[in-house]
Structure 1
Amino acid sequence: MNTNPDTTRHLLVGADGSAESEEAIRWAITEATAVGDKVEILMVLPREELLPGTSFALQPHGRVPVRKHYSLDEAVARIQRELHADIDVTTMLRQGNPTSELLAAARDADMLVLGTGTKSAVGRLVFGSVSTACVRHATCPVVLVSTQAVHRFSPTAS
């Protein structure tokens, strides 16, 4: 375990309440526990952007609303209990464009960790993707965690 504060990495995790983002949280906590890093989790609630003169919300990046009654703090506590991980995890909640907020927060991070789903190519083309934009524009390494592959590259993988 890394006990040197000069070499401790700062892992930033983007969360949206999906199963994929919970796998990203799980991966980051597992990684941080194994090597002594710090974890910060950012959930960005998108603003409702209305088209002028209509009642339709414009969601330019195909954002999925956060599940009703979802508590990031409760999810993190549950994941830490499941993993028996005794590390400090910081959670933050912001409102705005998820891509912009994640990229801004990632400027101070050593690694950005995001969950990624299995949208079809057409779905990605039509709706865009926060993770794709983060991969293209982040100033730090980006780890994309899928629910299918989360077990393959992990400090606890067998």
Structure 2
Amino acid sequence: MTENATAPRPVIVAGVDGSPTSREALRWAAEEARLRTATLRVVCGWEWSSPFNLIGPALEYAAPDADTPSMEELTRAKVEELLTGTLGEEPGVPVEVRVVQGPATRVLVDASEGATLIVVGTRGHSGIKGAVLGSVSRHVTQHARCNVVVVRDSRDLAAGE
């Protein structure tokens, strides 16, 4: 059997929100993408009403003018910064970044469509210390349309939690 040279690469999705646990998930997903010769798709959902966005606590945001970046542009810049800060300038795999307005639960479940694997952290910015799974990771494990890996924060592992 010969491999079709035009077959699309598998896709591994990494859900990020800027939290330490999402950085761990991003590292894990990038290594898995490298091992599987897959594309790494980095996905971040953002909402106006969220008390925490990737850029930190919700900000008062004035009506944009021509010189003011949109929330989507600000979030995309933060995701790019997170990506470079976590994986370096050359991550070693093809990378796509998707910044989507909407609740993280919906955005990540939608991103799982057609993916080989989705990788999320146990808890994001709003996670409660000591919780086994956060609400987003729990929702993704229950509703994703592909296999899911939930990555624990290495600091929790070192502390024996």
Q: 2:84 aligns with which of 54, 77, 80?
A: 77
Coordinate RMSD, CA, aligned = 3.1
How far residue 11 of structure 1 moved from its aligned partner, in angstroms, is 0.4
Q: 2:55 aligns with which of 51, 61, 67?
A: 67
Q: Which residue of 2 aligns with 1:56?
A: none
How far residue 35 of structure 1 moved from its aligned partner, in angstroms, is 2.7
Query: 2:13·2:40 contact (CA, 8 Å) conserved in 1?
Result: yes
Specify every segment of 5 or more residues in structure 2 that has no aligned partner in the other structure, as ranges: 57-73
Query: 1:27·1:150 contact (CA, 8 Å) conserved in 2?
Result: no
C-alpha change, 1:67 and 1:101, in structure 2 (3 Å) is same
CA–CA distance in 1 between the matches of 2:155 and 2:6?
Answer: 30
How many percent identity over aligned positions? 27
Specify every segment of 5 or more residues in structure 1 that has no aligned partner in the other structure, as ranges: 49-58, 152-158
How far residue 78 of structure 1 moved from its aligned partner, in angstroms, is 2.5
Query: 1:10·1:38 contact (CA, 8 Å) conserved in 2?
Result: yes
Query: 1:23·1:150 contact (CA, 8 Å) conserved in 2?
Result: no
Query: 1:21·1:114 contact (CA, 8 Å) conserved in 2?
Result: yes
How far residue 149 of structure 1 moved from its aligned partner, in angstroms, is 8.5
Q: Which residue of 2 aligns with 1:101?
A: 107
SS in structure 2 of the partner of residue 71 of structure 1: helix
- Using structure 1 for the length normalisation, give the TM-score: 0.69
- Using structure 2 for the length normalisation, give the TM-score: 0.68
Q: 1:143 aligns with which of 142, 146, 149?
A: 149
CA–CA distance in 2 between the matches of 1:149 and 1:5?
Answer: 42
**How does 1:1-158 map onto structure 2 within 5 Å?**
6=7, 8-48=9-49, 64-68=52-56, 71-81=78-88, 85-117=91-123, 119-121=129-131, 129-148=135-154
How far residue 12 of structure 1 moved from its aligned partner, in angstroms, is 0.8
CA–CA distance in 1 between the matches of 2:146 and 2:153?
Answer: 23
